[in-house]
A and B are shown apart, each in its own frame.
Chain A
Amino acid sequence: MAYQALYRVWRPQFFKDMVGQEVVTQTLKNAIITKQTSHAYLFSGPRGTGKTSVAKIFAKALNCLDLKDGEPCNECINCQAINTGTLNDVIEIDAASNNGVEEIRDIRDKVKYAPTQGKFKVYIIDEVHMLSTGAFNALLKTLEEPPTQVVFILATTEPQKIPATIISRTQRFDFKRIKQTASLARMEYILTEKQIAYDQQALQIIATAAEGGMRDALSILDQALSFADNKLTLDNALMVTGAVTQDLLSLYVQAVLESDTVKGLELLQQLLDEGKDANRFIEDLIGYVRDLLLANEAPKLVNAIRNNDFKTQAQTISLQQAYTIIEESNNVQQQLRYTTHADVYLEVLTVKLCNLSDQKVDDTHTKQELAFSAENLPKKTILKQLEKSRKDASSITTFNAKIPVQGTDTKIATKGEINKVVDDEPTKLITKVQKSNLVKMDGQAVFLTLQKATKGALTAFNDAYIDLLNMLTVVQSAKLSQAKFVAASDQSVVLVFKQPYIHHLAIQDIELQTSIKDSLEKLLGNEYQLIFITEDQWQQVRKSYVTQLKAKIQPDEMQAPILAQIELETKPQALTVTDETEIENEQDAINSNLNNKQEVASLNEAKNAKMTDIVNEAQTMFGVENIEIRKD
């Protein structure tokens, strides 16, 4: 005999065999016992819940010659005839293919004749929702006043498609989806009967995959059994229920979560190579992520197999991530309709998904960077800094007010203070504006150059000076025209600018610095560290160097002076990017700041001539007319 599918072999033959439909079977059994059968029944419920099986058992029970407690005997002639489908009085009609008025009229005409062999004529109309409107109306008349000894059983998966007039003339039974425990028990029973060893976990997986349909469960079981004789293993069950794909899918999601684009693409390729349809892949992906979402809230509803990978992912994935993956996948799913190159879309999707979390990280990174960079300093920070410098300045004022009492020692200290105050904030800003390290401008660098300086190197630079100017653009060479090389080693060169303003422009101009560096490299065949200082600074450094050299201080112990870098103007410049009004405030602040310094400077001037430097510097920066020198 040819192989018969499990669900056919094990189609229930008694009411008691029915799984998970106790209410229905109980009622029908009672109806048979009490002979209170209705003339029309409507069985509704999802597929694989036993509608047709119950209809057949009921037909047998109605016609059985040897009823036992409402159950058919399955042995009498009538039962046997129904089992083999040869009893003329039980008529099974598939409404899906016999949906016209003609077929129903045919029934209506034949309904009149009394049953031949059985006690009842039973019409089982399967998939009754497929009938046409005309056919329904034709059926209506028959259902309304059927001859006695005729029973109609209508079965459908979609009761809401049945006209209300039909429903109201039938006794309706709702078949429920079969609970996992029930279908599990049934499968266990079947396997025990067949004497097949089984893995409990495997059955569990099959029961979950069947989603409440007994036929589905048995079909899957059948498939799993076909892999290995007389044994149901976990592996086979996993294979049949598509868990293998889930594993790949799980890895894919893992790759997405870890932003591993390469791995993601590899896995995608692997899935596609296995012949997975692009649409199906997207659906599975969405389904899997949905399961991840549900895993925490409603674990019972998860379709996926909940292995360890699944559980960890469910815990790590954020709500937002899950939503984004679903969102993006969904978009691609729509696009797939219009393309013949599904693979490309999937690959793009993969890259996109893998970069989702990257983007997020990037965003925060840049945000942090921006927060630190001067160009984008938020107003508040700037104001705070200004506030601070103002405070510093005023503290100096108060401090200086005590100077006369404290005597001469304080002078130098004050000088240092001022220098510090003067270049503290601005230089910080400058260094941040300049991302490049092309140019140095501190005393230490000059010292290092001086220690290694050679006359030859300097001559070489001076010789190359004209060529250098020629290699630069007009604007660039103009900036450099007033500058000269003062010292050079084989690693670095000191360039002195006569005007502090030009010096300031030069250290701002990264393009210029690059050009100089490149040109020098071309001309002299070496990469040099550039050091830009002003004339005043140069004097200061050289003086300090000479003094220390004379004092026979070892080169590595030499202390380079802190250069008085009056770069106040860089602040407004850097800020032009941000806000106009800001600059005004800034200017005011600086002015007041400066006024304070001014006062400080003036205070000290009488005692220390050096202090005039600051006044001079201030004058060069803000113009003589802007600075009021007070002597008190």
Chain B
Amino acid sequence: MNFEDLKNKLIDKPQPIYVIQATQSYFFNELRETIKKSMSIEEQAMNFAMYDLIETPLAIALDDATSVPFFGDKRVVILDNPFFLTNDNKLQKITHDIESFEKYIIDPQTTTLLIVFVPYEKIDKRKKIVKLLQNKTQFIDLVNISGQTITQIVRDSLTNFKLSIDNNALDLLIQRTNGDLSNMMQEVSKLRVYCYGKTKITSHDVDKVVTKSLSENVFDLVNAVLANKITDAISLYRDLRANGEEPLKMNALLLSQFRLILQVKGLITKVRSEKELATKLKVHPYRVKLANKIAQKFKFKDLIAVYLGVLNIELQLKSTQRNPDLLFELFMVEYQKK
């Protein structure tokens, strides 16, 4: 089901119970906000309720759900974090009355719209309650939404403001936000405002406006180091340090990145595809793809030299009191000479 359709359905003619499974919190926030907006402020106060099942017993929520709406024609109850659908028992602080929930599923209150937010990737499908929910309710799975759906959502949200985004810009946006939809939408709202008066968002705009994550920065750093751009590398390092990044953390990221590149360099010929290598190395395919791109450009010898150099920084960081910036700069100068 299309997300936009879902939103409209929830407002217009909803079924009594919806279960929405998604890992992107954006969907939950968006649904919640859409529903709230469809209600007046008075209605919101009287007939809207959200329960966090980690803290609140199910009984209280069901109590609310079974009661008739005050001064209105419908009541909305949202259940968040239904951990009892999963195998994970760590979250279990309180015991829930699952039986009465089952009863409610079979015979729901028609004036109430009950929505269950399931922010988990996997739920235990052997459980009776899960089977019941899957059979008797509107069970919507948004976990495995494709990249295409995500880009569509982004584009849709921009069309409302008469803006378009080109593919490069979109790619960059996805890369910067790590494909996290909530994050992406935050950045989109910023982009939207920045590009006020324009009709198209370019990758140049994205580059300027969208915040770089640390791993993104480290990725740039890796490229600068390998390309032997000493000025770029050191100034980027200094920028990151000025932002208060921990040297050890940065170094660890650098090291893991170089290790991955080395692994890809050595193994890519022994597998059929990047994807297969990704599964074997247990890393995200996108990272393997990027690592492979870099690995192809450089010689084994150089990669090893850099890896060992960074490793040495780590050793020094942990065993001496030397200034991390200095260590990195010395490493760069030394590497440059090679």
CB distance from A424 to the nearest CB of B (A): 49
| Closest CB in chain B relative to A342 CB, distance in Å | 16
CB < 8 Å: which of B209, B231, B244, B336 contacts A161?
A: B244
Interface residues contributed by chain B, number (CB under 8 Å): 39
A160 to B243, CA, bound (A): 8
Complex: A174 Cα to B187 Cα, angstroms: 12
Encode contact with B along A140-164: 1 for CB under 8 Å, 0 otherwise: 0000000000000000011111000
Cα of A94 to Cα of B4 in the assembled complex, Å = 42
Q: Which of B186, B189, B243, B329 contacts A290 (CB 8 A)?
A: B329
CB <8 Å contact, B193 and A30: yes
A36 touches B193 (CB 8 A): yes
Q: How far is the CB of A335 from chain B (nearest CB, A)?
A: 11
Q: Which residue of B lies closest to A41 (CB)?
A: B190
Verify if B234 is at the interface (C-beta below 8 Å from A): yes
CB-contact partner of B326 in A34, A173, A290, under 8 A? A290
Cβ B230 vs Cβ A34 within 8 A: no
A23/B196 in contact, CB under 8 A: no
Q: How far is the CA of A140 from the CA of B231 in the complex (A)?
A: 40
Q: Min CB distance, B333 to chain A, in Å?
A: 5
Cβ-defined partner of B333 (8 Å) among A36, A157, A297: A297
User: Which residues, 180 to 213 on B, are CB-close (under 8 Å) to A?
Assistant: 182-183, 186, 189-190, 192-194, 196-197, 208-209, 211-212
Given A34, A161, A300, A319, which contacts B193 in the complex, CB threshold below 8 Å? A34
Contact (Cβ within 8 A) A23 B194: yes
**Interface-central residue, B238, B245, B333, by most chain A CB under 10 Å:** B333
Stretch at the interface among B11-19, B137-145, B315-323: B315-323
A212 on the B face (CB < 8 A) = yes
**A97: Cβ under 8 A from any B Cβ:** no
Residues of A with C-beta under 8 A to B322 = 330
Most chain B beta carbons < 10 A, residue from A33, A45, A294, A319 = A294
Which residues of B lie under 8 Å from residue A38 when comparing CB positions?
Answer: 189
Q: Which A297-340 residues have a C-beta within 8 angstroms of B?
A: 297-298, 300-301, 319, 323, 326, 330, 333-334
Query: In the docked arrangement, what's the CA distance between A33 and B182, Å?
Result: 25
Nearest-Cβ distance from residue B292 to partner chain A, whole angstroms = 29
A177 to B238, CA, bound (A): 10
A46 interface contact, C-beta 8 A: yes
A587 within 8 A of B: no
- Cα A174 to Cα B322 with chains together (Å): 29
B321 to chain A, nearest CB (A): 6
Distance to closest chain B CB from A595 (angstroms): 57
Distance from A253 Cβ to chain B, minimum over Cβ atoms (Å): 16
Known: A293-B333, A298-B234, A330-B322. A157 touches B244 (CB 8 A): yes
A38 to B212, CA, bound (A): 20
Is B25 part of the binding interface, using a Cβ–Cβ cutoff of 8 Å?
yes
User: Which residues of A, 2-45, contact B by the 8 Å Cβ criterion?
Assistant: 23, 26-27, 30-31, 33-34, 36, 38, 44-45
Contacts of B267 in A (CB 8 A): none
Chain A residues positioned under 8 Å from B189 (CB to CB) = 36, 38, 171
A333 and B183 CA atoms in complex are apart in Å by 45
| Distance A46 CA – B197 CA, assembled complex (angstroms) | 31
Interface readout for B216-243 with A: 1 if CB under 8 Å, 0 if not?
A: 0000000000000011001100110011
CA distance A133 to B193 in the complex (A): 32
Distance in angstroms between the alpha carbons of A157 and B245 in the assembled complex: 10
Is B330 an interface residue, CB under 8 A from the partner?
yes
- Hey, which chain A residues are within 8 Å of B239, CB to CB? 177
Are the CB atoms of B242 and A46 closer together than 8 Å? yes
Question: How many residues on the A side are at the interface (Cβ–Cβ under 8 A)?
Answer: 39
Known: A23-B208, A27-B193. A300 touches B244 (CB 8 A): no
Q: Is A30's CB under 8 angstroms from B243's CB? A: no
Q: With A36-B189, A319-B333 given, is the CB distance from A46 to B323 under 8 Å?
A: no
Contacts A158-B243, A160-B243 hold; do A298 and B230 have CB atoms under 8 A apart? yes
B321 — which chain A residues lie within 8 A by C-beta? Answer: 333-334
Which one of B183, B193, B214, B234 has the highest number of Cβ atoms from chain A below 10 Å of its Cβ? B193
Task: Output the least CB separation between B332 and chain A (Å).
Answer: 8
Max count, chain A CB within 10 A of own CB: residue among B192, B238, B242, B336: B242
Measured between beta carbons, the chain A residues less than 8 angstroms from B212 are 174
Inter-chain contact A30/B196, CB cutoff 8 Å = yes
Chain B positions within 8 Å of A298 at CB level: 230-231, 234, 332
B297 beta carbon closer than 8 Å to chain A: no
| Complex interface: chain A residues within 8 A of B244 (CB) | 157-161
A437 at the interface (CB under 8 A from B): no
- Which of B25, B182, B238, B243 has most chain A Cβ within 10 Å? B243
User: Counting CB contacts under 8 A, is B337 at the interface?
Assistant: yes
Minimum C-beta distance from A36 to chain B (A): 5
Minimum distance in angstroms from B188 CB to a CB of chain A? 11
Chain A residues positioned under 8 Å from B209 (CB to CB): 23, 27
Asked if A286 lies at the interface with its beta carbon under 8 angstroms from chain B, I say: yes
Contact A30 B194 (CB under 8 A): yes
Chain A residues with CB under 8 A of B25? 168
| Interface pair B336/A177, CB less than 8 Å apart | no
Looking at the assembled complex, report how far the CB atom of A507 sits from the nearest CB atom of chain B, in whole angstroms: 54
Judging by beta carbons under 8 Å apart, are A286 and B326 in contact? yes
- A542, CB-defined interface residue at 8 Å: no
Q: Are B333 and A168 in contact (CB under 8 A)?
A: no
A173→B211 CA distance, assembly (Å): 7
**Mask of A170-211 contacts with B, CB within 8 angstroms, 1/0:** 111110010000000000000000000000000000000000
Q: What are the residues of chain A within 8 A of B231 when measuring CB–CB?
A: 297-298, 300-301
Contact A301 B243 (CB under 8 A): no
Q: What are the residues of chain A within 8 A of B329 when measuring CB–CB? A: 290, 293-294
Q: Which residues of B contact A293 (CB under 8 A)?
A: 329-330, 333
Quick check: B243 and A159 within 8 Å, CB to CB? yes
Could you tell me which B residues sit within 8 Å of A by CB distance? 25, 182-183, 186, 189-190, 192-194, 196-197, 208-209, 211-212, 214, 230-231, 234-235, 238-239, 242-246, 320-323, 326, 329-330, 332-334, 336-337
Please provide the 6 A-B residue pairs with the shortest distance between their CB atoms, ordered closest to farther.
A158-B244, A30-B196, A298-B231, A46-B242, A27-B194, A298-B230
Other A-B pairs, 18, CB within 8 Å; known A27-B209, A300-B235, A334-B320: A23-B208, A27-B194, A31-B193, A33-B196, A36-B193, A160-B243, A160-B244, A160-B246, A172-B186, A172-B211, A177-B239, A286-B326, A293-B333, A298-B231, A298-B332, A300-B231, A301-B234, A301-B235
Sample of 12 A–B contacts (CB below 8 Å): A27-B193, A34-B193, A34-B196, A36-B192, A36-B193, A157-B244, A160-B244, A171-B186, A212-B242, A290-B329, A290-B330, A298-B234
